[in-house]
Amino acid sequence: MALSRGRHRADRAQPRTTTVPGCLPAPVAGPGCTPPVPAAQQAEPGTRPAVEDAFEVEDAPFDAPTIGAVERRPGAARLPSAAGWSSAGIALDAGRAGPYWVSAGSLVGRGHAWAGHTRQDSYALAFSEDGGSVVLAVADGLGSRSRSQLGARHLAAAVAREFVAAERESAVTDDEALLLEAISRAQNELAEVWAPAYGVPDTRALACTLAVVVLPVDLAGRPVLAARIGDSTVFTATDAEPEPFAEVFPLGDGPINMVSASLPAAGFREDIEIRRLDPAGFSKLVLCTDGVADDVYESPGVRAWLARRWQRPCTERWMLESLGYARAGSQDDRTAVVVWLPDAGEGAVGAD
């Protein structure tokens, strides 16, 4: 199936269309072979602003591919000026969570780094040591909102934490009802605690999109729950070729980069999309913000690269390089949380 979503998003305010439902194929390789990654194409070096000429910045060697006409310019990065409002440019985690292995990475996008803007994506995880569920969340602050990175940071963490608390304390046993309650509590916390703490009078300045996965510790008794509000999303994944990734939430045929739903919102129950997944059909799940999702949809090279990198559970450093590819037009923050189901792989790769 040919994937074509048109010109890569440069601004959320520029609409485009797509005709890409169903599974997401990667290039086909022979039996036992790694899917090929297209050869890198080097861009003609551009003229750097004079402010960059004062420093020759060193970067670590990367095996991550360069796809299309992309110029890697580590010296072009600018630090955000508002330190109290900013997030670190990179966040990484990897390890066991209940019966699962989780690897997570969040990187500031080239567009944000070159403009001196902070990373607006965040991820979070929560689980109870005595059973129940492992809850994963990713959130993407809306670029048009002044403090959206704060909303993404605190909302993702609160949703994961509040689900685990509600599961432990509530008589309700339906995961969907528990998730809706967790989002409601998280929104209240954002409005009543964090907005005043940061001196934000209007919670719309904290707006973000959200994707959540609830993984029961006992997969035999309950399905996996996936949900999203906005354009953060979830993929199921296997090591099968030629289709290692499959979308959980179909894109449809309409404009997609005008974000139609975000949090906080009083009417989020009307906007939320929820799916119940049979864990027998996949070996891992990928939660990601649109910066990664766009590349998975649009680039066979990115799909092949990530499919190869995520065949086995991996360490933080492996995750960093996995998201370190360069692709023409890909300038947004990149955040992905990959969770491997039990028996999905032996040991973690990328360790010393």
Beta bridge partners of 209: 140
pLDDT grade for 237, boundaries at 50, 70 and 90: very high
Q: Is the pLDDT of residue 87 over 70?
A: yes
Cβ proximity of 158 and 186 under 8 Å: yes
Q: How many helices (H) and strands (E) does the chain have?
A: 8, 16
The Cα–Cα gap between 150 and 20 comes to 32
CA torsion 344-345-347-352 (nearest 10°) is: -120
pLDDT given for residue 37 in this prediction:
39
Q: Is the pLDDT of residue 33 over 80?
A: no
53 φψ region: left (φ > 0), alpha (ψ -120 to 50), beta (else): alpha
Q: Which residue has the tokens 């970067």?
A: 59
Domain boundaries, the chain: 62-340
Instruction: Note the residue count of the chain.
Output: 352
| pLDDT, mean of residues 61-76 | 85
pLDDT given for residue 177 in this prediction:
96
Cβ proximity of 180 and 186 under 8 Å: no
**Nearest residue to 350 (alpha-carbon basis) of 332, 331, 326, 324:** 324
Give the tens place of pLDDT for each residue, 294-335: 999 999 999 999 999 999 999 999 999 999 999 999 989 999
**Nearest residue to 213 (alpha-carbon basis) of 125, 280, 315:** 125
| 3 state SS of 137 | strand
| pLDDT, mean of residues 24-51 | 41
Superfamily designation of domain 62-340: PPM-type phosphatase domain (3.60.40.10)
Q: Is the pLDDT of residue 111 over 90?
A: no
Handedness of CA 44, 59, 66, 328 (dihedral sign): negative
